[in-house]
Structure 1
Amino acid sequence: MEREQLERLLGGGDKTSAAALAALRADASYVVWDGMTSPKALATVYGRRLRHTLRKGIETSGLAQAVQRLDLYSRPVRLGQIRTADGSWIFVLFLDADGSTLVACTGVRRSPPGSARQDTC
């Protein structure tokens, strides 16, 4: 997927998408993987991650909304990821099967290198 296409998809206006878009425009690395996954299975996985991040006090953006959107979405999704240039945030993108629509977006703040806490989203 071309960077410009991804930028258009992130232009939806919610806070998390706007942060992911800003990161992308600030030279973040990104990937959109081939293959599709069940949104219900992802809702379960990311629901667990939501509970984990809340328990551990890990900063996230849009995670609860992403879980809700995935739970309601009925078609397979593709996954993508944006990593800020400084590595402080990772955004996970959930796209429709052909990559033309952003279903949900979430982000997690990463621990500084050498920190005891290991964050995953």
Structure 2
Amino acid sequence: MTPDALCEMLTEQTPACGPARDALLSGGTFGVWDGLMPADQLFHTFRTRLRIAHKRERETLGLTETVGILERMEDELLRIGWIDTTDRTWAFTLFLNATATTVMACTGVDATQNETTD
């Protein structure tokens, strides 16, 4: 997958898509992991991340919308991708269809905020 192809796939699925596209156009790094994951498993993982982000007041983009999209997709198989900004201040997670031809959802997290455990 080329950066240009990925940019074309990042439309308005969630509020994180525009900033993720901008990060890619500015020279950010990206990739797509091998393997497929069922959306319902990802839904449970990212619903937990949403609760933790709210509890810790961590800045996110599109996480609420992504959780809703994953829930509606039920057991559809997805690929997971990522984009990091050049300065590593934001990290984006992408959820693509099984053939990696469509971005289904995108979420971002402020990578400058320290993660701590409770």
Same fold (TM over 0.5): yes
Deviation at 1:12, TM superposition (A): 3.4
- Bigger drift between 56-65 and 8-17 goes to 8-17
Instruction: Report the counterpart of residue 48 of structure 1 in structure 2.
Output: 48
Q: Are 1:103 and 2:104 an aligned pair?
A: yes
Q: Deviations over 1:19-45 (max 9, x none)?
A: 100000000000111210010000000
Local SS of the residue matching 2:106: strand
C-alpha distance in 1 between matches for 2:65 and 2:13: 14
Give me the whole-angstrom Cα distance separating, in 2, the residues matched to 1:100 and 1:45.
23
Number of residue pairs aligned between Structure 1 and Structure 2: 115
Q: Which runs of 5+ in 2 are unaligned?
A: none
Residue 101 of structure 1 deviates from its aligned partner by 1.1
Change (3 A) 1:13 1:65: closer
Q: 2: distance between equivalents of 1:52 and 1:14?
A: 20
Q: TM-score, normalised by structure 1?
A: 0.89
Identify the residue that residue 79 of structure 1 maps to in structure 2. 80
Give the match's secondary structure for 2:93. strand
**5 Å matches for 1:1-121?**
1-12=1-12, 14-74=14-74, 75-111=76-112, 117-118=114-115
The one-letter amino acid of 2:25's match is R
* Cα shift readout 1:68-98 (whole Å, capped 9, x = no counterpart): 1011114100000000000000000000000
Offset at residue 11 of structure 1 (A): 2.9
Report deviation, 1:118. 2.1
Deviation track 1:38-78 (CA, whole Å, cap 9, x = no partner) reads 10000000000000000001000000110110111141000
Which blocks of at least 5 consecutive residues in structure 1 are unaligned? none
**Alpha-carbon contact 2:13-2:105 (below 8 Å) kept:** no
Asked if structure 2 preserves the Cα contact closer than 8 Å seen for 1:111 and 1:118, the reply is no
